Structure 1
Amino acid sequence: MSSARYLPHFGAGGPLVRHASCFVLLLAIARAENGTAPTQTAPGADLFTNSSVRRIRIEIRPEDVRALRKESRSYVRSAIYAEDEFYPEVGVHLKGSTGSFRGLDDKPGLTLDFGRFSSGQRFHGLRKIHLNNSVEDPSYVNEQIASELFRAAGVPAPRVTHALVELNGRKLGLYVLKEGFTEDFLGIYFKRVDGNLYDTDLGDAVDQRRTRQSGRDPGDEHAGLELLAEAALEPELNRRWQRLNAALDMDRFITFMALEVMACHRDGYTLARNNFRLYHDPDAKKVVFFPHGMDQLFGRADLPWKPHMAGLLARSVMETAEGRREYQARFGALFTNLFIVDRLTNRVNQIVGALRPFLGNSEFKQIEREAAAVRDRIVQRALNLRRQLAEPEPTLLEFADGIARLTGWTKIDQPAGGRMDETIDGRSALHIIAGPVTSASWRTSARLRRGRYRFEALGKIVAVKPLPFGKNQGAGLRIGDRMRQAFNFTGDSSWKRLDLEFQVDTDEEDVEFVCEFRASSGQVWFDKDSLRLIEIQ
């Protein structure tokens, strides 16, 4: 299947489409051909196409409250009042992961299943909605911005709006309202909705047995995923590319990867093997990835556009020459024609502005401040990506007798109340003085060939006190976002060797090296001459 069906190419794959209007036209044609554009007749259209904030009142009986306290993920019955409508016997359970989960007496995330106990009951045509407490996104805009980006690029993603929620007479405040992954959702994008939809909250899905969320073929419950897992692990790369294309909607997956990286979705599939859903389309007999849990975005402007891929399938695709070419072309086209800063920041303004009539002045001002930070992160991400994409391709790091020096260090996250500099006091060193809350680092990167390596440094610390949170404290080394060896180098110490072994499993990979300092006070020095990489035979 040609990737031009979704997006124009640039570079060797074809001419770069330079005007957004041309790109939008191509996307509109592709979305019309593939059913990837929600229409005004789609279930829930009225819920998501106007800017009204819904008022939802939830009543749960005392015995069901007790049941929820005991088993927060199990459905209990509730009654829902929304505007002038009453919905009896609605299933409700608590939702949220480690960072976002809150109990009933706090601001809980909630899933409402209107058809759970009352067959055929729908909320604006939808069986299921999620009410996200947005505790990890105080701007309340990230999920909506990201889902619109994915849909604009032809990747199915749930629609998003907002609601004011009340639970048993207690006003919980503003929530992000998101449609559920159900047959209602699938029907917008696929001709058939009876394929298997998989819940993947436990991590990488293609090489594990998964919980089937919906689907009508129990006799063939995991066949599609098993074929995909076998293709991903195919050792012969030309054969792998062919097998992956036979089992995976490759066009959508490459777009999915590129957008997750572009938006710095550091808790998604591509970078963290988390927050995604899978659908086995019975017509195409291919697996499609859906994004999920996009409440923390644009957090690191300098995230490489070709980072280490954590997801097995993402790594498998990028190990092939065809996959790397497709990803590069797709990333450039998306960045040029879809990641348009003015449009994105204006959309943030529109979303936040629509909340104004429904919120008190102080609450709205706080959300405005958080949204301004999101706009700034979008701007900084675009500026950094533009610089990255303009840079020439790096060459392989050269080793002499199995050793290479690491140079070109850059300071990241300078601590408030502290300092980062390069000192020469007997020996040249990378120096960090901690402020009250410090998570700072010196970083560089290099392109490596397949093999096993050891990253080495000499570190010295004085009066280092740990932070009151987190398991890694003091000074340590790590490899980008993919490998963090536990460390607790605190107190006082003369020069001590620090090292970390890792492996590169692809023919070539850009690897980021990090000299990290997490502390509430104290100083660290990393000897510059000792910062080196050793090839392990």
Structure 2
Amino acid sequence: MEDTSIPTYGITIEPKDLKILMQDVWKDDHVPSRLVVENIPYEIGLSYRGDHTRKFRKKSYSIDFRSYKEEFAAREIHLNAEYRDPSLIRNKLSFDFFESIGSIAPISKHVLLELNGETKGIYLELESVDEFFLQKRGLPSGPIYYATINHANFSLLTPKEKPKSSLLSGYYQKIGSDKDNQDLERFIIKINTTNREEFGEAIKKDMNIDNYLLWLCGAVCTQNYDGFIHNYSIFRNEETGLYQMIPWDYDATWGRNWNGDIMEFDAVPIEGYNTLTARLLDVLEIRQQYRRMMAEVLETKFTVKAIEPMVANLHKQLNPYISLDPYKKQTIALFNSEPELILRFIEQRNSYLRKHLKDLE
């Protein structure tokens, strides 16, 4: 019989350290704490994580083991509160979907978190995108960046069309050097200044096109509205010299936005958006490749038939724990209605995207 239970993560933190943590939610400095999983203790550093989510009552956390831990296959993990997602499954469902279409994505699983003996609710444990992420997938090392705010739009301008103070605005360098920063700046300049006739061949020297288009299929299907200008990681494969995209923070998907409100199925066009995507799809060969990839995904992977079992399994797994979550126990009826909403979104979104495949001809 399949075990559908989720593990309990118990964190203990001294009052003085908890006070330091709570004094400034925007600080990334870790405070000493202890994590216990299956009766095994781990000395950790603990901090809040996220952007606007740090203002929420249910906080998200970063856990630093300070050294590689075989049990977690990581040195660092993230615990996401999924506060605005009434289903609590959209992030994981997205990453599982990305993997199903052949795109790399962080490993994730749900856990029940306790802090100093008090139940904090259901969290999503997320794999950190770092050197161990690459090693686990047999990928060469290389610089890694998180796109943390909406300036990471591959443009010379901000979304409000003002000149950026830095071309690296919106990016946090997880791994890399000053030279890697310069290379990323040159890449962004190249995207914006290469003439139309030469762009198709020029971009292939810097970007893994297959990877980007798979990522684009995932972002467009799940309709992560702001995932085109942040909420992704990008790394440069040191063997090929090519940049690759990795999805990150996909809770505002499958028919809801970042506030947890309903987002209509046609909010994001089939072309997606951002400067790099626009320039890539301006190249006939690349646009046709994207059309073929999207058509196959819509036929085989982004369907109610393919995704319904994933939704059902995740919902069933969390159902016994939803009443234990102090931030969700008042909205159990909403939680129970979410699978139907997600599946209806898939049906409507699939139909919408199929109709607009012609826009890519």
Q: TM-score range by the shorter chain?
A: 0.7 to 0.9
Residue 145 (structure 2) aligned to one of 198, 201, 219: 198
Indicate yes or no: 2:300 matched with 1:347. Answer: no
Residue of structure 2 equivalent to 1:312: 275
Q: CA separation of 1:66/1:122 partners in 2, compared to 1, >3 Å: closer, same or farther?
A: farther
Residue of structure 1 equivalent to 2:46: 92
1:60-209 → structure 2 map (5 Å cutoff): 60-72=13-25, 73-88=28-43, 90-98=44-52, 100-102=53-55, 106-115=57-66, 119-121=67-69, 123-193=71-141, 195-202=142-149, 203-204=151-152, 206=154, 208-209=167-168
Q: Distance in 1 between matches of 2:357 and 2:78?
A: 44
Query: What is the SS of the residue equivalent to 1:222?
Result: helix
Q: Distance in 1 between matches of 2:324 and 2:117?
A: 22
RMSD: 2.8
The one-letter code sitting in structure 2 at the alignment partner of 1:91 is G
Indicate yes or no: 2:262 matched with 1:262. Answer: no
The one-letter code sitting in structure 2 at the alignment partner of 1:94 is Y
Q: Distance in 2 between matches of 1:190 and 1:71?
A: 38
Query: What is the SS of the residue equivalent to 1:91?
Result: strand
Residue 7 (structure 2) aligned to one of 54, 58, 79: 54
Bigger relative CO (Cα 8 Å, ≥ 6 apart): 2
Residue 249 (structure 1) aligned to one of 208, 216, 226: 208
Q: CA separation of 1:153/1:68 partners in 2, compared to 1, >3 Å: closer, same or farther?
A: same
Query: What is the SS of the residue equivalent to 2:204?
Result: helix
The one-letter code sitting in structure 2 at the alignment partner of 1:198 is Y
Residue of structure 2 equivalent to 1:335: 298
Q: CA separation of 1:365/1:336 partners in 2, compared to 1, >3 Å: closer, same or farther?
A: farther
Q: Contact 1:127–1:182 (CA<8 Å) still a contact in 2?
A: no
Query: What is the SS of the residue equivalent to 1:139?
Result: coil
Residue of structure 1 equivalent to 2:162: none
Residue 250 (structure 2) aligned to one of 294, 317, 334: 294
Offset of residue 359 of structure 1: 4.8
Q: CA separation of 1:275/1:367 partners in 2, compared to 1, >3 Å: closer, same or farther?
A: farther
Q: Distance in 1 between matches of 2:98 and 2:118?
A: 35
Q: Distance in 1 between matches of 2:357 and 2:206?
A: 34
The one-letter code sitting in structure 2 at the alignment partner of 1:139 is S
Indicate yes or no: 2:353 matched with 1:383. Answer: no
Q: CA separation of 1:347/1:365 partners in 2, compared to 1, >3 Å: closer, same or farther?
A: farther
The one-letter code sitting in structure 1 at the alignment partner of 2:308 is T
Q: Contact 1:132–1:178 (CA<8 Å) still a contact in 2?
A: yes
Q: Distance in 1 between matches of 2:209 and 2:293?
A: 12
The one-letter code sitting in structure 2 at the alignment partner of 1:75 is H
Query: What is the SS of the residue equivalent to 1:274?
Result: coil
Q: CA separation of 1:108/1:361 partners in 2, compared to 1, >3 Å: closer, same or farther?
A: closer
Q: Contact 2:108–2:126 (CA<8 Å) still a contact in 1?
A: yes
Q: Contact 1:140–1:367 (CA<8 Å) still a contact in 2?
A: no
Residue of structure 1 equivalent to 2:180: 221
Query: What is the SS of the residue equivalent to 1:137?
Result: coil
Q: Distance in 1 between matches of 2:21 and 2:174?
A: 21
Q: Mark the structure with the bigger radius of gyration.
A: 1
Offset of residue 367 of structure 1: 5.0
Indicate yes or no: 2:234 matched with 1:278. Answer: yes
Q: Contact 2:12–2:34 (CA<8 Å) still a contact in 1?
A: yes
Residue of structure 1 equivalent to 2:172: 211
Q: Contact 2:5–2:317 (CA<8 Å) still a contact in 1?
A: yes
Displacement over 6 Å in runs of 4+: 361-365
Q: Contact 1:224–1:286 (CA<8 Å) still a contact in 2?
A: no
The one-letter code sitting in structure 2 at the alignment partner of 1:265 is N
Query: What is the SS of the residue equivalent to 1:158?
Result: coil
Alignment gaps of 5+ in structure 2: 156-166, 256-263
Q: CA separation of 1:367/1:147 partners in 2, compared to 1, >3 Å: closer, same or farther?
A: farther
Q: Distance in 2 between matches of 1:178 and 1:169?
A: 22
Q: CA separation of 1:368/1:156 partners in 2, compared to 1, >3 Å: closer, same or farther?
A: farther
Report the TM-score when normalising by structure 2. Answer: 0.83
Deviations 1:16-50 (A, max 9, x none): xxxxxxxxxxxxxxxxxxxxxxxxxxxxxxxxx96
Deviations 1:269-313 (A, max 9, x none): 2xxx1211111110111111111110011222123542461x221
The one-letter code sitting in structure 1 at the alignment partner of 2:250 is M
Query: What is the SS of the residue equivalent to 2:234?
Result: strand
Offset of residue 334 of structure 1: 1.1
Q: Distance in 1 between matches of 2:330 and 2:110?
A: 17
Paired positions, count: 334
Q: Distance in 2 between matches of 1:145 and 1:162?
A: 11
Alignment gaps of 5+ in structure 1: 1-48, 395-507, 509-537
Q: Please state which structure has a larger fraction of its residues in strand.
A: 1
Deviations 1:148-192 (A, max 9, x none): 111122221111111111112321111112111122211122432
The one-letter code sitting in structure 1 at the alignment partner of 2:314 is I
